[in-house]
Structure 1
Amino acid sequence: MKLFSDTIHNLEQGLNYSSTKNKVIAQNLSNVDTPNYKAKDVSFKKQLEHAQNSFQAKRTNENHIPFGHSDQVIQIREKNGVTYNHNGNSVDIDKEMTELAENQIYYQALVERINGKFNSIKSVLNGGN
């Protein structure tokens, strides 16, 4: 029996993804003037597949397709085939700043949600007070 649902684990995975994305964006921004630096991005597709694989379904027939479980790692990949600067650098500072702002909002939303879960647990442990 699990003490907590998968919600806290899924929120933790989201925080890990967001933290990694923030580090990659910061690395891109710090290398905006580095010749031949190729901007990097964090793969969301693998995270989405991981979230979809974490669903549990009750199989009422052995012929039904099972839902799988797999722990996939967050992937960081170079953005190939694009060059924004004359020195071979592929960092678009406006795009990176936009992604940074979006990621900060996403991270804060996850933090607020996980705090709500812990506050609910705390309330239950205190007898609803």
Structure 2
Amino acid sequence: MAINFEKALGIHQHTIGVRSRRTEILASNIANADTPYYKAKDLVFKDALNAAKSGSNISLSRTDRQHNYGESTSMAQSGLLYRNTNQPDTGDANTVDVEVERNLFMKNNLEYQASLDFLNSKISGLRTAIKGQ
């Protein structure tokens, strides 16, 4: 009997990818805190998770057989949006609030670790079932 990993691992395999992507976005926001005209971005977790589960990527066409395959997701498909600022403009039109970004970064890291723990639990259960213990 074959193991269906989609059913066995559940949603946790997708949450790790979305949380990882959000970590990159939040880190980019923090790194660009002093960049003029930079707009803070963030993910809508629910939309990004639905896109990850459905695998809705845009396939890029190849004009030559030696070209690599490529996939892309649009900003709207991936749940990526610009964040509304909650601080007055400092004159450089940058919308990054470093304290907010750091708090969101830490929260996301805790949620990422929780997803890893859930996934590890699922894998441990599968390992036990395979061994027949």
Q: TM-score, normalised by structure 2?
A: 0.70
Q: How does 1:1-129 map to 2 (within 5 A)?
A: 3-6=4-7, 8-47=9-48, 50=50, 70-72=54-56, 73-79=77-83, 84-128=89-133
Instruction: Give the 3-state SS of the residue equivalent to 2:15 in structure 1.
Output: helix
User: Kindly, what percent of the aligned residue pairs are identical?
Assistant: 27
Deviation at 1:3, TM superposition (A): 2.4
Range with greater deviation from structure 2 (110-119 or 3-12): 3-12
Instruction: Give the 3-state SS of the residue equivalent to 2:116 in structure 1.
Output: helix
Deviation at 1:125, TM superposition (A): 1.4
RMSD: 2.5
Query: CA offsets per residue over residues 23-45 of structure 1, 9 Å max, x none?
Result: 00000000000011111111224
Query: CA offsets per residue over residues 33-90 of structure 1, 9 Å max, x none?
Result: 0011111111224146x39xx8xxxxxxxxxxxxxxx445522222256654321100
Instruction: Give the 3-state SS of the residue equivalent to 2:20 in structure 1.
Output: helix
How many positions carry a matched residue from both structures? 110
> Structure 2: 5+ residue runs without aligned partners?
57-76
Amino acid at match of 1:23: E
Q: Higher strand fraction: Structure 1 or Structure 2? A: 2
Range with greater deviation from structure 2 (100-109 or 4-13): 4-13
How many Å separate the matches in 2 of 1:36 and 1:105? Answer: 30
Q: TM-score, normalised by structure 1?
A: 0.72
Amino acid at match of 1:79: R
Range with greater deviation from structure 2 (91-100 or 118-127): 118-127
Amino acid at match of 2:7: D
Amino acid at match of 1:20: R
